Amino acid sequence: MGKLDGRIAIVTGAAQGIGNGSARVLAQNGATVILVDFAEAVEAAAEELKAQGLKADWRRADVSNLEAVQAMVDDIVAQYGRVDILHNNAGVNRRVKFEDIDPKTRDFIFGVNIIGVWNMAKAVYPYMIKQQYGRIINTSSVTGTRVVDEGQTTYSMTKGAVSALTRALAYEAGPHGITVNAVLPGWVRTPKVEQVCRDSRPDDPESAMRDMAAFIPLRRLCRIEEIGDLVAFLASDEATYITGTEMVIDGGSTLPETFDILHA
């Protein structure tokens, strides 16, 4: 018996990376998981889970479009009867200095990271109220909420907004049996991070990965499944009294007051 048996979960940004890892862990714990992404690869991601004997489905959607999101959620509920868990994970980033970023790029990042998170929560919320049960887990970040970096002003702003929404919605949703929490990852070994390492050091991308890990107290990057484990915990009955929290999962990377290269 899995701790999420019988639950219906939606995971956005699930074609790869954190969302894909989360979908896998939720399904391994017994949930039926609907993987959502704008990328065509979401179908293959869902089929891979099904090939492993897990319960999975998929939808393609632009989370920044409320009408499309609402239609998708309505369709999911019509097919599965309810929606219990939302992992609001879809997100994008563009590392651009503030003086160089243009309104089009700003609006793209805002559209996915803020509006998309709002849209998904808005679409599932009435169903969760009707059920008097729901688990909403938002992917925020340590960037913008705990630390900052050059070229990350716009991204940081969006993640601050996600954390603020988490707290505010948790306050409103509590009387309806709905919990709302956020996970704040640090450096995670996703396909995008691996690509950055390959681009920066094509001859030895693993050395770039090791250099990144050297500044993390646990001396490694987070595995995507470890984010999934935290999401599954927050979605389970083990976390019924946890709401409005921001759970940092960064291997201690935000602990140092300064980076000491002598100890790297």
Query: In whole angstroms, what is the distance from residue 10 CA to residue 87 CA?
Result: 6
Tell me the pairing of strands 32-37 and 8-12: parallel
Other beta carbons less than 10 A from residue 109's beta carbon? 19
Other beta carbons less than 10 A from residue 65's beta carbon? 16
Residue 122 lies in a domain: yes
The residue count of the chain comes to 264
Q: How confident is the model at residue 165 (pLDDT cuts 50, 70, 90)?
A: very high
* Closest C-alpha to 106, from 147, 157, 62: 157
**Domain of residue 115, residue span:** 8-186+223-251
122 and 206: one domain? no
32 and 89: one domain? yes
pLDDT value at position 226? 96
pLDDT value at position 205? 82
pLDDT value at position 195? 85
Residue 89 lies in a domain: yes
Tokens standing for 248? 């940092």
Clarify whether 155 is annotated catalytic.
yes
- Largest pairwise CA distance in the chain: 58
Q: Give the residue, 201 or 244, on which the prediction is more confident.
A: 244
pLDDT value at position 259? 56
Mean residue pLDDT across the chain: 94
Q: How confident is the model at residue 264 (pLDDT cuts 50, 70, 90)?
A: very low
pLDDT tens-digit profile of 8-56?
999 999 999 999 999 999 999 999 999 999 999 999 999 999 999 999 9
19 and 97: one domain? yes
Q: Which of 44-53, 74-83, 184-193 has the lowest mean pLDDT?
A: 184-193
Active-site hit among 125, 127, 155, 171 = 155
39 and 148: one domain? yes
Tokens standing for 32? 């039926």
201 and 235: one domain? no
pLDDT value at position 38? 97
From the number of C-beta atoms within 10 Å of its C-beta (0-12, 13-18, 19+), residue 40 rates as: exposed
Q: What is the pTM of this model?
A: 0.93
